[in-house]
Amino acid sequence: MLRKEINDLLTQTGPGTKMGELFRRYWQPVLLAEELPANDCPPVRVKILSERLIAIRDSDGNYGLMDEFCAHRGVSLWFGRNEEGGLRCPYHGWKYDYTGQAIEVPSEPATSNFCENVKLKGYPLVKLGDVLWTYMGDPANQPPLPEWEAYTVSEKQNFTSKRLQECNWLQALEGGIDSSHVTFLHSGNLNTDPLFKGSKGNEYNAGDLKPFFEVVDYEGGLLIGARRNAEEGHYYWRVTPWVLPNFTMVPPRADHPMHGHFWVPIDDDNCWAWSFDYHPTRELTDTEVEAMRAGKGVHSANDDAYRPLANKDNDYLMDREAQRRGETYSGIHGIALQDSSLQESMGPVVDRTKERLVATDAGIIKARQKLRKAALALAEGVEPIGNRPEDQKVRSVAIVLPKDQPFVEGIGEAMVAKPGVPQTTV
Amino acid sequence: MSTPVPISSSARATTTEEARYRIDYPLAAARNTRVVALDEAAEMIVRAASEEDWGQARFYVAHDPGHDLITMAGETVPLAGELEQSNTVVMVSTAGENSEAAATIGAACKVRGIMTAGLVITPGRLSSEALLTLRPYARILLVPADEDDLVELLRATRA
């Protein structure tokens, strides 16, 4: 249960809001590189953190993200002509470079300095891996580029997708932190999904339906350890890292690629669920990539606008027969849609004054507390955590440990991303 | 011609407008929580929390062997009686003392089907005697917990 004012604080990320200011201290994924596939390609509308923007890739390959609307009469630059080193408004020909700086105002005399004083609000747009990232805060506070392992390995070791999720970002994030739902909601998928099946860990999952949890506070965020009984004298641990404000990773299974998410607010009622898979030591196989493109694992099959084909307009293609047969627990196919269908069913922004949390929701309780404290502290001038490269070199872990060993001790360096070192998995 | 959206469909049911029709009624405190301090420093944290306004939560100190609890008013009461109506027990430890009491409380909760949580309040330390003391008996552990995590947990669970 949260008081309304705390729920508002955590869920509102527009300009000037406390959580919005916190988000504006982190690099965030904005577009897949495939959305701006070539120099002078069509511009793309972007909405992130409740700001309407336009993204371009200019004639020289520079990426830019700027206010969507022309400074002159407020026309959407989505209709613009992306050519000859800038984006030209089709209404009166005003032209902007990739930073948002006006470089031509045809109605002014050729020698006029008018356009020097016209600049659209603009943000850096940087390609890392196959994703374009932006930083929307004060340039003076810009952190180093992110160093998430998924985006420091070669592009052939990574597959990233995004899907529209039609609810507030915090509902989606909380699903990523809440390990206890896997036992129910995703139970039908562990042994059938090609990106999950074949793991010894699946047997431990099936053999112990009441896991114990340890929520460990660490510098970048939280480590949520779920422990189940393994062989005599041992526990099977699945360790999920959450790094402020919106990064989570799923513990690995066998030698399958590792996966995780960023939950990026579009506005207060919608978010992008970014889903990635990568393998730290090898390229993904064609079979794995094919499965990911087909919506297996943490991905979804989407339309051209990255909205899942199974969505609320078609009741997520609910399959009651599959539910009855036990193939799916909720009747919805695919892990990603199993999550988003339920999270969207709560409504755009769930009323957390009405919830009844239980002790096993402690990870969610603690994450909310850390987000609230970070947002309030930032307003008082305290720098946030999670935006430093050392916070980002983190991995999820699956491991079997002796019962008397604290999991943080047991996993040791396994949660630290190191180039060329295999993941720790069961 | 567009297809009408059925009134029971997810598309309509998930809108902000429809959220207005969710039944609004007061929620009773579902948690009947017992909070137990296992050492002196933990007692200070638990005592401070006990001074806030709670639904049905009650607060205690336990020493080995843990068959009795001591209320914040200093009264000694039998553990079994205090667990009768409870559905959650939160144990708080800073030092790993009174491990026998933790075991007694944990075992009593297990046979009664009472959820157990543990707060290991050891700032800056990820591993401690307190952790080892609570781990076998707490279904959920916060490690290392902040002092205000107790109040946060109790509020969030409507204690």
Q: Quote the ipTM score.
A: 0.90
B-chain CB neighbours of A365 within 8 Å are 152-153, 156-157
Question: Rounded to whole angstroms, how far apart are CA atoms A298 and A150?
Answer: 15
**Given the structure tokens 């994450």, which residue do they identify?**
A367
DSSP codes of every residue in A281-322: SSPPPHHHHHHHHTT-TT---B-TTS-BSS-GGGGGG--HHH
A-chain CB neighbours of B16 within 8 Å are 269, 347-349
Q: What are phi and psi of A258, to 5 degrees?
A: -85, 145
Give percent of chain A with pLDDT exceeding 90.
90
> CB contact, 8 Å: B75 with chain A?
no
Q: How confident is the model at residue A365 (pLDDT cuts 50, 70, 90)?
A: very high
The count of other CB atoms within 10 Å of the CB of residue A94 is: 27
Say whether B10 and A1 touch across the interface (CB within 8 A). Answer: no
Residue A261 three-state SS: strand
**Which carries the bigger pLDDT value, residue A331 or residue A206?**
A331
- The alpha carbon of residue B35 is apart from the nearest alpha carbon of chain A, in Å, by 13
The number of residues in chain A equals: 426
Whole-model pTM: value is 0.94
List all residues 6 or more positions away from A124 whose beta carbon is below 8 Å from its beta carbon: A65, A134, A135, A142
Nearest to A312 among B10, B152, B157 (CB): B10
Query: Average pLDDT for consecutive 10-residue bins of chain B (159 residues)?
Result: 73 91 81 94 97 95 97 98 95 94 96 95 81 88 91 92
Say whether B156 and A212 touch across the interface (CB within 8 A). Answer: no
Number of H helices and E strands in chain B, helices first, is 7, 7
Nearest to A359 among B18, B146, B157 (CB): B157
DSSP state of B11: H
Closest CA to A417 of A151, A29, A129: A151
What domains are there in chain A, each with its CATH number? Answer: 28-134 (2.102.10.10), 149-410 (3.90.380.10)
Q: Which residue of B has its CA nearest to A360?
A: B140
Tokens of A107: 């109605």
Say whether A365 and B156 touch across the interface (CB within 8 A). Answer: yes
| Contact yes or no for B103/B57 (Cβ under 8 A) | no
Say whether A214 and B126 touch across the interface (CB within 8 A). Answer: no
Does the pLDDT of residue A63 top 60, yes or no? Answer: yes
Dihedral angle sign, alpha carbons of residues A91, A97, A101, A102: negative
Query: A375-410: per-residue pLDDT in tens?
Result: 999 999 999 999 999 999 999 999 999 988 888 889
Task: State the pLDDT at residue A46.
Answer: 98
Q: Please, what is the average pLDDT of chain A?
A: 95
Q: What are phi and psi of B17, to 5 degrees?
A: -60, -45
Task: State the pLDDT at residue B155.
Answer: 92
Say whether B144 and A361 touch across the interface (CB within 8 A). Answer: no
Say whether A315 and B9 touch across the interface (CB within 8 A). Answer: yes
Number of H helices and E strands in chain A, helices first, is 11, 18
Alpha-carbon dihedral B141, B147, B150, B151, rounded to 10 degrees = -160
Say whether A313 and B144 touch across the interface (CB within 8 A). Answer: no
**Given the structure tokens 């948002």, which residue do they identify?**
A100
Question: Rounded to whole angstroms, how far apart are CA atoms A408 and B135?
Answer: 13
Q: Average of pLDDT values for A234-251?
A: 97
Task: State the pLDDT at residue B29.
Answer: 65
- The alpha carbon of residue B70 is apart from the nearest alpha carbon of chain A, in Å, by 23
- The alpha carbon of residue A240 is apart from the nearest alpha carbon of chain B, in Å, by 14
> CB contact, 8 Å: B50 with chain A?
no
**Strand-strand pairing, B140-143 and B115-120:** parallel
Does the pLDDT of residue A210 top 90, yes or no? Answer: no
- Distance, CA of A271 to chain centre: 9
> CB contact, 8 Å: B94 with chain A?
no
Question: Rounded to whole angstroms, how far apart are CA atoms A47 and A136?
Answer: 12
B-chain CB neighbours of A216 within 8 Å are 126, 143-144
Closest CA to B128 of A106, A192, A216: A216
Task: State the pLDDT at residue B30.
Answer: 67
Query: A14-55: per-residue pLDDT in tens?
Result: 999 999 999 999 999 999 999 999 999 999 999 999 999 999
Question: Rounded to whole angstroms, how far apart are CA atoms B99 and A100?
Answer: 64
Q: Count chain A–chain B contacts defined by CB atoms under 8 A.
A: 118
Query: A279-330: per-residue pLDDT in tens?
Result: 999 999 999 999 999 999 999 999 999 999 999 999 999 999 999 999 999 9
In a mutational test of the A interface, the residue from B7, B10, B93, B147 whose CB has the highest number of chain A CBs within 10 Å is: B10
Tokens of A212: 């114990």
* Residues of A contacting chain B (CB within 8 angstroms): 1-2, 166-167, 210, 212-218, 269, 312-313, 315-316, 341, 344-349, 351, 354, 356-362, 365-366, 368-369, 404, 406, 408-409
> CB contact, 8 Å: B131 with chain A?
yes
Say whether A312 and B11 touch across the interface (CB within 8 A). Answer: yes
Residue B55 CB-density burial (10 A; 0-12 exposed, 13-18 middle, 19+ buried):
middle
Query: A152-197: per-residue pLDDT in tens?
Result: 999 999 999 999 999 999 999 999 998 888 888 998 888 889 999 9
> CB contact, 8 Å: B151 with chain A?
no
The region of weakest confidence among A87-101, A254-268, B47-61, B119-133 is: B119-133
Q: Collect contacts of A245-248 with beta carbons under 8 A, ≥24 apart.
A: A245/A19, A245/A22, A245/A23, A245/A26, A245/A371, A245/A374, A245/A384, A245/A386, A246/A23, A246/A26, A246/A28, A246/A169, A246/A173, A247/A148, A247/A221, A247/A386, A247/A392, A248/A173, A248/A176, A248/A177
